[in-house]
Structure 1
Amino acid sequence: MVIKGQDQLSLVWRHRTKDITKNLPPTEAVALVDSLLGDAAASGFHHAHLQTSGHDIQLARGRKGQWGLRIGRLSAAAPPAAAPVAASADEDDGATDSGDGRYLGHDRARRHPLALTLPFLAELGITDAQQRLVPAMARKWRQINKFVEVLGHAIAQSPLAGRDPAQPVRVLDFGAGKGYLTFAVHEHLRASGRVPAVTGVELRGELASLCNQAVARLGLQGLQFDAGDVRSHPAAATDIMIALHACDTATDVAMHRGVTAGAAIILCSPCCHQELRPQLQAPPVLAPLLRHGIHMATQAEMLTDTLRALLLQTAGYDTRVFEFISPEQTSKNRMVLAVRRARPLPPAQLQAVRDELAALKAFFGVRQQTLETLLADAAHPG
């Protein structure tokens, strides 16, 4: 970017509890990045992400301490006025909050990960015949782009970052609906130089058929839609497991499917948190708070997703629960993200997570939680 007539690089480095942003002259910026990555053991940084006007460059430290570099081209459809020149270094802690992007000129409009000129957007009714955003689809367009941002950051921090780009990335999207996000994931993988193998699974067969017709018209390789649901779809090895708005315990089933399929990334936006609410016992100190139905419902949602996040930690993932998009766009805006760790938690940390689980269940009187049951059954079959 250019600030007060001087070239600057915008850097963001992320810690577990805060982000730090600085705009520095190129020489100072390079020296800072070198100091952060030069001694990764001391700084705790194991990944750096650089965006230029034409490339997306990722540097990541592997399990054996070796650094790997991946250079990908940005989508040719991206508008040239929005070329990013950002550099960032991310701590390897599973954080996924996406940056806002820094562009030449401090006041330029934000660049979306996807371009409105993509043909699938017209097929799905996001844009019109002139490749203009349909006003009624503005919220869906923001949701799609935010999801792609979250996914892109998750991939960069996952075991997939160091994988050979020629190896297909297997994606299962349960509850694909009309395919908005499924098509977007396929495009993101393709544009970043990877080989997509994306399957959208939708209970309503007519929607799966319509999406497959759109795939055929566009001639897309590595994208298909199946009729079915998370409980009936055949199990298969998976790299990225997505389940948005799966009702109640269907989210737990989807998470379990992701764990057992060896997914590097599990992305869920839960819905209809019904399982725990009848079990909740209000501790005396919380009785005035939880006697109100709306508060009880909110508490059940927070507790359910917290338990899920902790359970995924015990299964080998770094997890986060965060607001996906603004609640003004949809009330179903909570996301649980799990990224598989390169190494297991040390025994003491693993036990601490299990102790937190047990304490929460005891405090609220939780007797049963579906994801916990499924993981226990998988660990001790028969």
Structure 2
Amino acid sequence: MTRSLADALDDVRALLLSPQLTRAVAAGRRRNAAPSLVRAELRPVALRAGTHLQIVTNDGTRPVTRNLPPGAPAEAAVDQLLAEPFGNWHVETSTSTLQLRVTKKGTAQVHRSTADRADTGPGDHDRAKRYLLDPDDPLFAAIGANAAKRRQVDAFLRALAATLPDTLPAGPLHVVDLGCGNAYLTFAAYRYLVARGAQPVVTGVDVREDQRRRNTALADQLGCAGQVRFVAGTIRQAPVEPAPDLVLALHACDTATDEALARAVDWQARWVLAAPCCHHDIAAQLRRQPAPQPYGPLVSAGILRERFADVLTDTLRATLLRAYGYRVDVVEFIDSQHTPRNLLLRARRGGVPDRREQHRAYRALVDQWAVTPRLQTLLPAVPDDAGAVVPDAAGATVPDAAGATVVSRP
């Protein structure tokens, strides 16, 4: 619903000062105007002196917390925040949720929904599930989502929330979804990040031109065409500028997942979420050669070999990413009753204690099973934490064109 900005902000003010307020976030910027704050978060807190309004503001350097008593102090602080040219407001109360986005024309696009659960008191455990993206969000109506798809979206967003830090960086957050398909998870990530107070700039990549046209039209329908764009191209070659902070690759088939991971490493992306699919490459290599002893029975039956190939492929991917400096978690992101392809590689750049050891573990695995993962062929030599190269299993190195020493690919 589009309304005048002044009227919509009056509604926001009433909710912010209401006893039913549970949480509110202001973030983003309006066209041709920048607020003095990167983000503001409001919530009620119970203190000895009674319930106060807690306001946490961040100007990009450090957060500042104030606890204000009801009445004039809280009202003055709220009015000051409403005067800032924030581009987005997200307000939750015990009975409803309001999302406000300021359009390029200076009007307010407002979405209201009733709360998806009711708190009946402390200790109450019989509550309906609270979703990270409102089940009444216009996205679900636009894509014709059923309950199962809503659950999958929520599971993905929870994995995304667990990957990102509590405080997101100031300024634009660049996101790419490689192999985005019909892009409903692309849009879900965008809507969630906006609600978190981020300024996401999202690029969806898919090889099909008809998907690009469809997704672009959907972005226009949802009012986010300026922040979410789509390009047609392959995962390896599609133009993506600037380099993204967050890389998504959800159910990219077989070695397409490896291509997405390789681009993420090349971009030095801060965060990566990849849900692999269809592990044919390593499975085919295992079929062509005898297994090392005593593991012959492990791959003697076709179904066991296929399942082991899935495990080995993703183990090698995770270990190789660690050798390149990523902390990697391998998790189940949705129950297997919804999809058998429910494994997720969740990676964060930095903080790997011993990259040399990760590389040695990787080499031991590929040498024992005599396989060459696709990801290995797409990545350069593995540097250690000091910037020196880590030799391969045979200790072989070769000079590059500039005379520097690099590791030869196995």
In which range does the TM-score fall when normalised by the shorter chain?
A: 0.5 to 0.7
Match of 2:187 in 1: 183
User: Helix, strand or coil: the match of 2:366?
Assistant: helix
Instruction: Provide closer, same or farther for how the CA distance between residues 275 and 81 of structure 1 changes in structure 2, counting only shifts above 3 A.
Output: closer
Instruction: Provide closer, same or farther for how the CA distance between residues 274 and 52 of structure 1 changes in structure 2, counting only shifts above 3 A.
Output: farther
Match of 1:11 in 2: none
Match of 2:125 in 1: 106
For 1:144 and 1:351, locate their aligned partners in 2 and report how far apart those are by CA, in whole Å.
37
Deviates more, 1:212-221 or 1:172-181: 212-221
Aligned pair partner of 1:284 in 272, 276, 293: 293
Task: Determine if the alignment matches structure 1 residue 351 to structure 2 residue 362.
Answer: no
User: Helix, strand or coil: the match of 1:243?
Assistant: strand
Deviates more, 1:192-201 or 1:284-293: 284-293
1:286-305 matches, within 5 Å, as: 286-305=295-314
For 1:376 and 1:222, locate their aligned partners in 2 and report how far apart those are by CA, in whole Å.
32
Match of 2:207 in 1: 203
Match of 1:163 in 2: 169
Task: Determine if the alignment matches structure 1 residue 214 to structure 2 residue 218.
Answer: yes
Q: TM-score, normalised by structure 1?
A: 0.68
Q: TM-score, normalised by structure 2?
A: 0.64
Match of 1:322 in 2: 331
Instruction: Provide closer, same or farther for how the CA distance between residues 51 and 296 of structure 1 changes in structure 2, counting only shifts above 3 A.
Output: farther
**Match for 2:309: what amino acid?**
A
For 2:90 and 2:327, locate their aligned partners in 1 and report how far apart those are by CA, in whole Å.
28
For 1:227 and 1:151, locate their aligned partners in 2 and report how far apart those are by CA, in whole Å.
25
Aligned pair partner of 1:125 in 116, 128, 144: 144
Instruction: Provide closer, same or farther for how the CA distance between residues 216 and 354 of structure 1 changes in structure 2, counting only shifts above 3 A.
Output: same
For 1:70 and 1:267, locate their aligned partners in 2 and report how far apart those are by CA, in whole Å.
32
Task: Determine if the alignment matches structure 1 residue 148 to structure 2 residue 157.
Answer: yes
CA contact (8 A) 1:263 1:340 kept: yes
Instruction: Provide closer, same or farther for how the CA distance between residues 318 and 264 of structure 1 changes in structure 2, counting only shifts above 3 A.
Output: same
Give % identity: 35
1:1-382 matches, within 5 Å, as: 76-77=97-98, 79-80=114-115, 82=117, 105-126=124-145, 137-156=146-165, 161=167, 163-164=169-170, 167-220=171-224, 221-236=226-241, 237-280=243-286, 281-341=290-350, 343=351, 345-346=352-353, 349-366=354-371, 368-376=372-380
Instruction: Provide closer, same or farther for how the CA distance between residues 74 and 365 of structure 1 changes in structure 2, counting only shifts above 3 A.
Output: farther
CA contact (8 A) 1:324 1:335 kept: yes
CA contact (8 A) 2:323 2:358 kept: yes
Measured after TM superposition, the shift of residue 332 of structure 1 is: 1.4
Instruction: Provide closer, same or farther for how the CA distance between residues 224 and 125 of structure 1 changes in structure 2, counting only shifts above 3 A.
Output: same
CA contact (8 A) 1:243 1:251 kept: yes
For 1:151 and 1:74, locate their aligned partners in 2 and report how far apart those are by CA, in whole Å.
21
User: Helix, strand or coil: the match of 1:244?
Assistant: strand
Measured after TM superposition, the shift of residue 283 of structure 1 is: 2.3
Instruction: Provide closer, same or farther for how the CA distance between residues 286 and 215 of structure 1 changes in structure 2, counting only shifts above 3 A.
Output: same
For 2:324 and 2:124, locate their aligned partners in 1 and report how far apart those are by CA, in whole Å.
45
**Match for 1:338: what amino acid?**
A
User: Helix, strand or coil: the match of 2:201?
Assistant: strand
CA contact (8 A) 1:251 1:270 kept: yes
Measured after TM superposition, the shift of residue 193 of structure 1 is: 0.8
Instruction: Provide closer, same or farther for how the CA distance between residues 283 and 378 of structure 1 changes in structure 2, counting only shifts above 3 A.
Output: closer
Instruction: Provide closer, same or farther for how the CA distance between residues 235 and 277 of structure 1 changes in structure 2, counting only shifts above 3 A.
Output: same
Measured after TM superposition, the shift of residue 278 of structure 1 is: 3.0
For 2:368 and 2:377, locate their aligned partners in 1 and report how far apart those are by CA, in whole Å.
19
* CA displacement, residues 73-132 of structure 1 (integer Å, 9 cap, x when unaligned): 566346446379xxxxxxxxxxxxxxxxx9862111110111122112211112xxxxxx
Measured after TM superposition, the shift of residue 299 of structure 1 is: 0.9
CA contact (8 A) 1:265 1:339 kept: yes
CA contact (8 A) 2:253 2:277 kept: yes
For 1:120 and 1:186, locate their aligned partners in 2 and report how far apart those are by CA, in whole Å.
11
* CA displacement, residues 154-177 of structure 1 (integer Å, 9 cap, x when unaligned): 1126xxx4522xx11111111211
Instruction: Provide closer, same or farther for how the CA distance between residues 235 and 197 of structure 1 changes in structure 2, counting only shifts above 3 A.
Output: closer
Match of 1:18 in 2: none
User: Helix, strand or coil: the match of 1:189?
Assistant: helix
For 2:270 and 2:204, locate their aligned partners in 1 and report how far apart those are by CA, in whole Å.
18
For 1:268 and 1:57, locate their aligned partners in 2 and report how far apart those are by CA, in whole Å.
36
CA contact (8 A) 1:68 1:162 kept: no
User: Helix, strand or coil: the match of 2:180?
Assistant: coil
User: Helix, strand or coil: the match of 1:178?
Assistant: coil
Measured after TM superposition, the shift of residue 363 of structure 1 is: 2.1
Gaps of 5+ in 2: 1-40, 46-52, 67-88, 99-112, 384-398, 402-410
* CA displacement, residues 11-30 of structure 1 (integer Å, 9 cap, x when unaligned): xxxxxxxxxxxxxxxxxxxx
Instruction: Provide closer, same or farther for how the CA distance between residues 322 and 202 of structure 1 changes in structure 2, counting only shifts above 3 A.
Output: same
CA contact (8 A) 2:324 2:355 kept: no
Measured after TM superposition, the shift of residue 248 of structure 1 is: 1.5
